[in-house]
Structure 1
Amino acid sequence: MPRPHMLLVEDDPAIAELLQWHFAREDFDIAQTADGEEALLLAREKTPDIVLLDWMLETLSGLEVCRRLRRQPETANVPIIMLTARGEEEDRVRGLDTGADDYVTKPFSPRELVSRVNAVLRRVRPALAGEMLTYADVEMDLGSHKVKRAGETVPLGPTEFRLLKHFLEHPGWVFSRERLLDAVWGHDADIEARTVDVHIRRLRKAINTGDRADIIRTVRSAGYALDSGS
């Protein structure tokens, strides 16, 4: 699953640092600038999945940046959330009329802002919001914690669920037992590497029932990979 790419345009260093920290924790790829003109350049270089845009910028106002982003075909439909100290209704309406999708007044709760960003992404690009992972005929709904293969529900234990989630996030990648231990059990887990083999067998048994192809490939002397073989 690709990491959501965020363009953060904020000229207050403390707020910018705070937001980068919170969204990095949510696995966002973040490009940050305090300059409106540079923001437009960054958006052209790599189209963002979402823009957090401060209203009050020194060079080019957030409203003007928003207008220009909406005029460019590549960013015309990119969600934009305005950040501002202006809380009056007239200002909110002005921001939304310019093309913003949402409006957050300062001071704000970073956790609430993360929730709002994820809500916008769920609405416009569900895969980027991390709600559904798919590969071949396997579907994992992270919201309901359910897995299906070819439309049929697959019951999984918590460890097998986390193991499959890691594979679905990196299809085709070969992971050693040690890397899987770190990713699924955590760096501090006092578990033998062979434990991975046990859970791989359980995962295979659960998702490869009937005549379904085995989509977990064993790579000799290297580890395991999610690979449909097609």
Structure 2
Amino acid sequence: MERGGGLVLVCDDTEPIRRLIRVNLELDDYRVEEVCDGEALLARLQDETAELPGVIVLDAQMEPRDGWWAITQIRADPRLIHIPCLMVTASVQQHDRVQAAAAGLDAFVPKPFDPDYLVELVQGFMAEGRQHEPAP
């Protein structure tokens, strides 16, 4: 699978998690932008002068607006609906997985996560868009 080259927008309220994701994606030649909550994510996505990301990686639990709120906004916007969204979260109960599927998330990655697996997911979604089917 082709490596790097696209823009990934990372949204997490924990700076060390954002840094971990950034470093691993940059090692694979991806460009990475960071925001710290769902509200900042939507503001960044609504900036029509900024490049849209090829993939969004977001956390579930953030303040003031969480990842669940953000994914609802993204999937309701025709300009953004095509962007693959991966949720990396400590919320790993079965109802969280059901909520993730219903919300239109493309992948649900429980914390702690394997950074190599996350990079592989990003590679797949960058190459194939939302049609990518990650290995279980």
TM-score range, shorter chain: 0.7 to 0.9
How far has the Cα of 1:73 moved from its partner? Answer: 1.6
Q: Deviations over 1:181-205 (max 9, x none)?
A: xxxxxxxxxxxxxxxxxxxxxxxxx
Question: Is residue 35–residue 59 contact of structure 1 (8 Å, CA) maintained in 2?
Answer: yes
Give me the TM-score of the superposition, normalised by structure 1: 0.52
Q: Which has the higher contact order (CA 8 A, sep 6+)?
A: 2
Please list, as runs of the form range in 1=range in 2, the aligned pairs for 1:81-96 lying within 5 A after superposition. 81-96=86-101
CA–CA distance in structure 2, aligned partners of residues 57 and 96 of structure 1: 19
Gaps of 5+ in 2: 131-136
CA–CA distance in structure 2, aligned partners of residues 37 and 31 of structure 1: 15
User: Which of 110, 117, 123 in structure 1 is aligned with 2:122?
Assistant: 117
Question: Is residue 47–residue 74 contact of structure 1 (8 Å, CA) maintained in 2?
Answer: no
Q: How many residues are paired up?
A: 126
Whether 1:9 and 2:14 are equivalent positions in the alignment is no
Partner residue, 1:23: 25
How far has the Cα of 1:109 moved from its partner? Answer: 0.7
Percent of aligned positions with the same letter in both sequences? 27
How far has the Cα of 1:107 moved from its partner? Answer: 0.2
User: Which of 58, 64, 83 in structure 2 is aligned with 1:53?
Assistant: 58
User: Which protein is bigger by CA-based radius of gyration?
Assistant: 1
Gaps of 5+ in 1: 126-230
Give me the TM-score of the superposition, normalised by structure 2: 0.85
How far has the Cα of 1:92 moved from its partner? Answer: 0.8
CA–CA distance in structure 1, aligned partners of residues 40 and 96 of structure 2: 24
Alpha carbon RMSD of aligned pairs, Å? 2.0
Please list, as runs of the form range in 1=range in 2, the aligned pairs for 1:1-230 lying within 5 A after superposition. 3-45=5-47, 46-124=51-129
